[in-house]
């Protein structure tokens, strides 16, 4: 057997391996989309015609503390806090944690909200960097501001957890816009069952009309990079996370918008400092501890509470974000490796963890190997060109089917985007997303894996664009 024969043999086997992986992953996606459709149907039936003002006006509604870590956010903090204070929820406390800002964040808050220093008797249940001062607003009795030494987002959230008084805590970024009635919808699963965390849908705000900290007119993004991300977010939330509701629960609640039972988070030890995937790590830890202590901890996802975020519009910013996300995923998977195929953890160990490991974490490796192998196969003549083309069509078509089914789910249930123009634009982004953009994400995610193996743990630079008031569309 010559070297050429060995290479050809390897390439053939590799292609079969990739094909099997492709079938496995897409079968899992098919199950997820069916599960998401089922859950969406059930949710819609329960929510149709519901009077949410009952929860809003109820004396029995659980208190929610909104934790807002802020670091050098002087430009946007006043508007963000104002939007949070105006959320439609009866028993809400807003806890802003200034994480050692060097700009005028504290001055802006002092001026805007008439802050006075306070000295509450509180218990430091979770470790965090020293708290320098605490302030209470004379204008808004439910606003608490914590000024502390710089310790990062997780540390700021831990400091907030110590001071927050709510039964539930809502975590959000300073640059996330939350819809006014989102909390009313998010709180519902906590009333129904032993739920410790609830996630809500996050959408891309680029291109939408933003006024006074609210998205007043959702519109499909007009630029390619934001457009394909809008499609990606819809797919990730409406079928990825919703699908998991019935298949063993979610492992990720986005750090940009999630609601947690405070007691459970404190008992779990709060947010981890040494990972860039602290939101996922917390959920994995809480669920793991729940199984270990025989507690019925559930993590739910509610499809319609919407928070809007500004997606990066530069390749550099997006690349850094995706690299960080994948590095965070790798850190969490490694830290909780005991879960893998461990029957002690039920669906979490036997279904959810293996899925995240094989489909989410290792996908870029398999995709990269598959693409390189395909290229080599074509060059060496091992792979039939027409077969390769057909295979590409199948893969592209399947991806499009999943995306379009997600768009159908969105359209039939929420139809947030008004007008046919926006729908057509979304369709264009859906067609373009698998061509080029997805391959780029493979590169970024591979970088994340490599950096994880190198032991990198920093956040790197993060881009804050803020929300500009988008001009209103002109009538045609």
Q: Which is nearer to other proteins, 272 or 300 (CB)?
A: 300
**Residues binding other proteins (CB under 8 A):** 45-46, 48-51, 53-54, 58-60, 63, 118-123, 136, 144, 163, 165, 167, 188, 191-193, 384, 386-387, 390-391, 393-394, 397-398, 400-401, 404-405, 407-408, 411-412, 415, 419-420, 423-424, 427
Tell me the C-alpha to C-alpha distance, in Å, between residue 135 and each of 92, 102, 140, 146, 237.
Answer: 17, 18, 11, 6, 36
Q: Which is nearer to other proteins, 109 or 177 (CB)?
A: 109
**Minimum CB distance to other proteins, residue 187 (Å):** 10
Q: Which is nearer to other proteins, 73 or 93 (CB)?
A: 93
Q: Contact, 18 vs 370, CB < 8 A?
A: yes
Q: Which is nearer to other proteins, 42 or 458 (CB)?
A: 42
Question: Distance between CA 122 and CA 147 in Å, rounded?
Answer: 15
**Minimum CB distance to other proteins, residue 415 (Å):** 6
**Minimum CB distance to other proteins, residue 414 (Å):** 11
Q: Which is nearer to other proteins, 71 or 203 (CB)?
A: 203
**Minimum CB distance to other proteins, residue 342 (Å):** 30
Within 8 A by CB and 6+ apart from 399, the residues are 433, 434, 438
Strands (E), 165-315: 168-172, 177-178, 195-204, 209-211, 214-217, 257-261, 298-309
Contacts by 290-297 with C-beta closer than 8 Å and gap 24+?
290/196, 291/344, 291/345, 291/346, 291/348, 291/349, 292/344, 295/194, 296/194, 297/194, 297/196, 297/264
Q: Which is nearer to other proteins, 242 or 251 (CB)?
A: 242
**Minimum CB distance to other proteins, residue 310 (Å):** 26
Question: Distance between CA 403 and CA 406 in Å, rounded?
Answer: 5
> At what angle are helices 385-413 and 3-47 packed, to 10 degrees?
10
**Minimum CB distance to other proteins, residue 243 (Å):** 17
């Amino acid at each position: 057997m010559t070297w050429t024969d060995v290479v050809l043999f390897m390439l053939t086997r590799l292609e079969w391996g990739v094909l099997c992986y492709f079938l496995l992953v897409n079968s899992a996606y098919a199950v997820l989309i069916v599960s998401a459709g089922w859950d969406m149907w059930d949710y819609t039936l329960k929510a149709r015609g519901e009077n949410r003002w009952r929860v809003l006006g109820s004396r029995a509604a659980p208190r929610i503390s909104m934790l807002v870590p802020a670091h050098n956010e002087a430009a946007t903090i006043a508007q963000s806090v104002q939007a949070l204070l105006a959320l439609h929820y009866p028993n809400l406390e807003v806890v802003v944690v200034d994480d050692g800002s060097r700009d005028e964040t504290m001055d802006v808050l002092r001026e805007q909200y008439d802050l006075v220093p306070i000295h509450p008797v509180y218990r430091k249940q979770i470790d965090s960097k020293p708290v320098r001062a605490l302030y209470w607003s004379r204008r808004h009795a439910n606003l608490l501001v914590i000024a502390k030494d710089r310790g990062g987002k997780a540390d700021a959230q831990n400091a907030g957890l110590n001071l927050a008084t709510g039964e539930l805590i809502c975590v959000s970024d300073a640059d996330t816009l939350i819809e006014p009635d989102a909390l009313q919808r998010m709180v519902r699963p906590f009333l129904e069952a032993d739920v410790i965390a609830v996630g809500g849908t996050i959408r891309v705000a680029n291109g939408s009309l933003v006024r006074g900290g609210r998205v007043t007119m959702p519109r499909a993004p007009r630029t390619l990079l934001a457009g394909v991300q809008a499609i990606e977010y819809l797919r990730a939330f409406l079928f990825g996370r919703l699908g998991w509701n019935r298949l063993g629960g979610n492992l990720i609640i986005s750090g940009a918008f999630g609601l947690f039972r405070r007691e459970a988070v404190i008992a779990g030890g709060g947010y981890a400092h040494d990972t860039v995937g602290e939101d996922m790590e917390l959920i994995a830890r809480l669920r793991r501890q729940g199984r270990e202590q025989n507690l019925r901890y559930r993590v739910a996802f509610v499809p319609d509470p919407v928070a809007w975020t500004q997606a990066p519009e530069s390749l550099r910013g997006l690349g850094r974000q995706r690299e960080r996300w994948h590095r965070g995923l790798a850190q969490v998977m490694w830290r909780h490796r005991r879960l893998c195929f461990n029957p002690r953890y039920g669906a979490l160990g036997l279904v959810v963890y293996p899925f995240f490991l094989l489909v989410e974490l290792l996908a870029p490796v398999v995709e990269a190997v598959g693409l390189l192998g395909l290229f080599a196969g074509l060059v060496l003549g091992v792979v039939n060109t027409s077969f390769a083309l057909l295979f590409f069509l199948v893969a592209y078509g399947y991806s499009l089917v999943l995306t379009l089914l997600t768009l159908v789910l969105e359209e039939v249930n929420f139809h947030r985007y008004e007008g046919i123009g926006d729908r057509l634009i979304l369709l264009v982004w859906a067609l373009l997303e698998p061509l080029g953009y997805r391959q780029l994400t493979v590169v970024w995610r591979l970088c994340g894996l490599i950096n994880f193996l190198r032991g990198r743990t920093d956040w790197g630079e993060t881009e804050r664009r803020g929300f500009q008031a988008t001009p209103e569309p002109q009538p045609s």
